[in-house]
Amino acid sequence: MIKKAIVLLCLLVLPWVSMEAAQPDFLYKILSSRNWRATEARKVVRLSPEDQEFIHFSTEKQLDRIVEKYWSDAAEFAILKVDTSKIEGELVYEANPGRENKYWHLYEGGIPFEAIAEAKVVYREPPSRGALDIVRIGDPVLRQRARSLSVEEILSPKIQKLIEDMIYTMRDAPGVGLAAPQVGQSLQLLVVEDVYCSYLTPEQLEKRERREVPLHVVINPTLTIEEAEVAEFFEGCISIPMIGIVPRAKAVRVDCLNEKGEPVTLHAKGWHARILQHEIDHLHGVLNIDRSIQETLTTDENAQKFWKDKSEEEVKSQMTKSE
């Protein structure tokens, strides 16, 4: 009689346990508006620093609680419905350290763009307007030498409005720099701002000599190499759906005008120097793929799929070796 009771209890309990731990067909991932725009533009899912050790997912039942707890102050964010049959890595159903509630975590993997079954953008405020269209590779304006601007032009309402719209467009993309030819204007004008350092590990920041760069406007620039030694890193461009390893000088000086038409001299090192070189190239009709090590060119998706955990030295070694 006791054995029959135990067997009956197991039959009642085990299905509930298996259902709780069974991998669902769909899980949900919330992205910031910036990360979602980058994901849309590059067809590669951009995640936050919190997802470095493992990727956090929610079930449909957990979603409202997660939104209320972590996204209640966000004016805009995106909710992705992810097909679990298409993700890569190991899904584990577990509680966070010191917590009781269990969630699905993805280890040693990622979310391919094609795994997104649905995407819903949530607005708590009316969406902002003013983003300019990004010109893509193949448009002749990207191969033209841009003309310089007079101080009178710089101070005109037209150019001041263009500067404002370019800043918004750079942030909306999101990117760390934007040159006027990338929005169809063959003018020697660019904007720079790097606020994405929190997305990298301390080791990555040190290796890239990267730190936050406040917003600045660069007009009619003259670039001088201050340090002949070069650094090689993967470099992307919001006008081009490919990236490659690009050698760039480690330190530069840029003499230019600012948005007020005032003379300015910038001394930049590391990643800031790379951004300036990249954007100033745009003013001369030169693209990052022209300067890249050609064998290392790859789509953003394949970079995430095959090379995200490898150093540039390893990538270069594997992609450039002869048969």
Q: Are residues 277 and 283 in contact, defined by beta-carbon separation less than 8 angstroms?
A: no
The amino acid at residue 136 is: R
Q: Are residues 198 and 252 in contact, defined by beta-carbon separation less than 8 angstroms?
A: no
**What is the chain's length?**
323
C-alpha distance from residue 163 to each of 189, 204, 260, 276, 282 (Å): 8, 31, 11, 17, 16
- For residues 119 and 254, give the distance between their C-alpha atoms in angstroms, rounded to a whole number: 42
Q: Are residues 148 and 204 in contact, defined by beta-carbon separation less than 8 angstroms?
A: no
Task: Could you list the beta-strand ranges (E) of the chain.
Answer: 26-32, 55-56, 76-83, 88-95, 102-110, 116-123, 177-179, 189-194, 213-237, 240-257, 263-269, 298-299
Active site residues: 279
- For residues 81 and 29, give the distance between their C-alpha atoms in angstroms, rounded to a whole number: 7
